[in-house]
Amino acid sequence: MTPPLDDIDRLMAVMAAAFDPAYGEAWTRRQVEDALVIGNCHYILVDATGAAPAPDTPAAGFSLSRTGFEEEELLLFAVAPQYRGRGLGKTMLAMLAADARGRGARRLLLEMRRGNGAEALYRQFGFTPIGLRPNYYRMHDGSRVDAITFAATIDPAND
């Protein structure tokens, strides 16, 4: 089912604010809509308090993930700059783990550009590196950066 338009508007507003254009990581609205229409992708939106945003309230953060067999892959994860450092990222990872477990996942996966400070958050949550794609990402300036794949087990004891 296609999500309500205002949810996509709010998600895209965070996307525009959160991703540095130098890395080319932000998705277009069309990419997000296409992912959500397929049915195996899920999103979380939070406001500045970590709750689901009320209809007339902007989002402070979002995640977009894809469900696979016993795995949930985090595709996009962002908090708008003015709301960072107050635990919203941590809150969304916990929400994602609970949702993913409800969908039958036993682990979370994500791929990260080497050097992204978000690694500290992921490691805190229990993610560990499981793979490397050398020079996988091409930066806006043409340089290349490795992609690191991380996984976290989400058995009940991990919450």
Ligand X SMILES: CC(C)(COP(=O)(O)OP(=O)(O)OC[C@H]1O[C@@H](n2cnc3c(N)ncnc32)[C@H](O)[C@@H]1OP(=O)(O)O)[C@@H](O)C(=O)NCCC(=O)NCCS
How far is it, in rounded angstroms, from Cα 68 to Cα 100?
A: 10
Residue of minimal Cβ distance to ligand X: 117
How far is it, in rounded angstroms, from Cα 76 to Cα 25?
A: 9
State both tokens at 103: 């969908």
State yes or no: residue 121 binds ligand X (CB under 6 A): yes
Among 117, 134, 142, 156, binds ligand X (CB under 6 A): 117
The tokens 């690191």 sit on which residue? Answer: 148
State yes or no: residue 77 binds ligand X (CB under 6 A): yes
State yes or no: residue 114 binds ligand X (CB under 6 A): no
Of residues 90 and 103, the one with the C-beta less far from ligand X:
90
Of residues 7 and 89, the one with the C-beta less far from ligand X:
89
Q: With contact defined as beta carbons under 8 Å apart, do 113 and 137 qualify?
A: yes
How far is it, in rounded angstroms, from Cα 47 to Cα 62?
A: 9
State yes or no: residue 26 binds ligand X (CB under 6 A): no
Binding site for ligand X (CB under 6 A): 18-19, 77-79, 84-90, 112, 116-118, 120-121, 124
